[in-house]
């Protein structure tokens, strides 16, 4: 087999200049850590506003709940998709008004709903009769958006049937909301995280269009909001269409599904597409090992792994671009994390390469790792502390 020189398309992810800035900033800091660039968060927010001018962004806080990220988006005017009472407390402490929040988790305790209500939140996502019951008691008169089921086919981090309900049940929930004194405000869906098939929106929007019409014509209910969820991609190894392509296609889907009536409010819940490429995890090569005297693929152990923030490498679902500095031939490698857990392997099937010159102690850069990393870290697995986060200054 012919050996190729190592090359890495850094410019697909950031400019060389930005990389050098991150590198300089990182010097002298103990690895591993996440560096977050707030300028990128701002640029991503603006890009989403420009591509979806008709849609209000509700940032999915869970993607990257760093205070500085939340503050940045607060100042830009973003609203927020909130997953738990602890996120609510954080947002309130940062001065986000409750009318810029949606309690987006369909799994909630009645006392949590009461807590949100008491703090002024009036918009709740739901998908089951039992949850509607709880909302009617703990948050009387509130607005509810009913989430439709999507299994997220085509998404790198797909959805399963955990959230949402089929249209038949959604119809009943619209009617039940009215009976329970709630306001059936709209419909929600989520096409699947890192959704690389824009067709997923077509499917969901078609259902939403049909149900808006049914509500108006047959249930005497004027739904107002379409919540299109998240799913817009970040830049990982596997290619995606441009945001422009998503925006054009989704506009057409909306045109096609809403002929006579357009939802009063359309919202999106970007998380990954807002924070993903704003982060770089700086790591170090801890060891390079072979299992036999001669072995084709050396094992490269980093000081960050599945339990230190890279849990989305499960089943190699999310393929982060991993940049090794150095030169020489490209060596095919297996990449694993530093804990004693056998599951803590990052990439064994998908082929990653490093340059010949890479050695133990070298720094390694996990790009586009701003979303679903730091807050996923385990509290102390194997004694390792959670991933540290720094804001690029």
56-115 positions binding a copy of itself, by CB under 8 A? 60-62, 65, 83-88, 90, 104-110
Interacting residues of 237 by C-beta distance below 8 A, sequence separation 6+: 319, 320, 321, 350
Q: How far apart are CA 201 and CA 364, in angstroms?
A: 36
Interacting residues of 129 by C-beta distance below 8 A, sequence separation 6+: 172, 173, 176
Is residue 270 within the footprint of a copy of itself (CB under 8 A)? no
Which residue reads 């979303």 in tokens?
A: 371
Is residue 288 within the footprint of a copy of itself (CB under 8 A)? yes
Closest CA to 243 of 75, 43, 77, 10: 43
User: Which residues in 194-253 contact a copy of itself (CB under 8 A)?
Assistant: none
Given 263, 338, 355, 370, the residue binding a copy of itself (CB under 8 A): 338
Is residue 333 within the footprint of a copy of itself (CB under 8 A)? no
Tokens of 364: 């390694």
Q: Which one, 108 or 143, has the nearer CB to a copy of itself?
A: 108
- Judged by phi (left if over 0) then psi (alpha if -120 to 50, else beta), residue 175 lies in alpha
Element housing 26 (H / E): helix 16-26
In the complex, least distance from residue 96 CB atom to a copy of itself, rounded to whole angstroms: 14
Q: For a copy of itself, which stretch binds (CB under 8 A), given 46-54, 93-101, 167-175, 350-358? A: 167-175
CA dihedral 106, 110, 116, 117 (to 10 degrees): 120
In the complex, least distance from residue 258 CB atom to a copy of itself, rounded to whole angstroms: 25
Q: For a copy of itself, which stretch binds (CB under 8 A), given 137-145, 206-214, 245-253, 383-391? A: 383-391
In the complex, least distance from residue 23 CB atom to a copy of itself, rounded to whole angstroms: 20
User: Which residues in 111-150 contact a copy of itself (CB under 8 A)?
Assistant: 127-128, 130-131, 134, 149
Handedness of CA 12, 17, 22, 26 (dihedral sign): positive
Encode 75-142 in three state secondary structure. Answer: HHCCEEEECCHHHHHHHHHCCCCHHHEEECCCCCCHHHHHHHHHCCCCEEEECCHHHHHHHHHHCCCC
Q: Which one, 37 or 303, has the nearer CB to a copy of itself?
A: 303
Radius of gyration of the chain (CA): 23
Beta bridge partners of 333: 352
Residue pair 382/339 in contact (Cβ under 8 Å)? The answer is yes
Given 217, 259, 342, 393, the residue binding a copy of itself (CB under 8 A): 342
Given 29, 137, 290, 296, the residue binding a copy of itself (CB under 8 A): 290
Q: For a copy of itself, which stretch binds (CB under 8 A), given 12-20, 137-145, 211-219, 371-379? A: 371-379
Given 378, 390, 391, 392, the residue binding a copy of itself (CB under 8 A): 378
Q: Which one, 37 or 269, has the nearer CB to a copy of itself?
A: 269
Closest CA to 205 of 161, 241, 251: 251
> What count of Cα atoms within 13 Å lies in the side-chain half-sphere of residue 384?
22
User: Which residues in 313-332 contact a copy of itself (CB under 8 A)?
Assistant: 314
Is residue 376 within the footprint of a copy of itself (CB under 8 A)? yes
Q: For a copy of itself, which stretch binds (CB under 8 A), given 2-10, 180-188, 260-268, 295-303? A: 295-303
Given 1, 53, 340, 349, the residue binding a copy of itself (CB under 8 A): 340
Tokens of 209: 């269009």
Q: Say how many residues touch a copy of itself, by CB under 8 A.
A: 80
In the complex, least distance from residue 10 CB atom to a copy of itself, rounded to whole angstroms: 26
Is residue 193 within the footprint of a copy of itself (CB under 8 A)? yes
Q: Which one, 165 or 278, has the nearer CB to a copy of itself?
A: 165
């Amino acid at each position: 087999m012919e050996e190729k020189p190592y090359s890495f398309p850094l410019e697909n992810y950031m400019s060389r200049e930005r990389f050098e800035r991150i590198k300089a900033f990182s010097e002298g800091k103990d690895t591993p850590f996440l560096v977050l660039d707030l300028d990128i968060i701002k640029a991503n927010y603006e890009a989403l506003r420009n591509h979806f001018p008709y849609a209000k962004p509700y940032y999915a806080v869970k993607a990257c709940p760093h205070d500085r990220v939340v503050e940045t988006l607060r100042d830009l005017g973003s609203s927020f998709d909130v997953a738990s009472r602890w996120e609510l407390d954080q947002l309130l402490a940062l001065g986000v008004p409750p009318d810029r929040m949606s309690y987006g988790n369909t799994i909630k305790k009645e006392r949590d709903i009461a807590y949100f209500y008491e703090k002024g939140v009036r918009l709740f996502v739901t998908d089951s009769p039992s949850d509607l019951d709880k909302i009617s008691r703990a948050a009387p008169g509130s607005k509810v958006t009913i989430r439709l089921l999507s299994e997220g086919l085509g998404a790198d981090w797909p959805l399963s049937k955990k959230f949402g309900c089929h249209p038949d049940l959604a119809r009943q929930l619209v009617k039940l909301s009215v009976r329970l004194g709630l306001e059936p405000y709209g419909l929600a869906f989520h096409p699947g995280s890192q959704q690389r098939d824009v067709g997923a929106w077509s499917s969901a929007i078609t259902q939403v269009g049909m149900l808006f019409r049914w509500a108006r014509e047959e249930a005497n209910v004027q739904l107002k909001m379409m919540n299109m969820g998240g799913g817009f991609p970040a830049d990982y190894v596997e290619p995606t269409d441009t945001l422009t392509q998503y925006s054009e296609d989704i506009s057409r889907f909306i045109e096609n599904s809403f002929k006579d009536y357009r939802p009063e409010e359309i919202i999106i819940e970007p998380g990954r597409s807002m924070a993903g490429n704003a982060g770089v995890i700086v790591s170090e090569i801890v060891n390079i090992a072979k299992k036999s005297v001669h072995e084709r693929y050396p094992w490269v152990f980093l000081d960050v792994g599945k339990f230190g923030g890279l849990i989305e490498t499960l089943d190699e679902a999310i393929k982060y671009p991993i940049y090794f500095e150095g030169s020489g031939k490209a060596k095919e490698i297996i990449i694993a994390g530093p804990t004693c857990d056998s599951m803590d392997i990052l990439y064994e099937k998908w082929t990653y390469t490093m340059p010949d010159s890479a050695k133990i102690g070298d720094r390694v850069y996990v790009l586009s790792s701003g979303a679903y990393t730091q807050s996923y870290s385990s509290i102390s697995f194997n004694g390792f502390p959670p991933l540290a986060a720094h804001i690029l200054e």
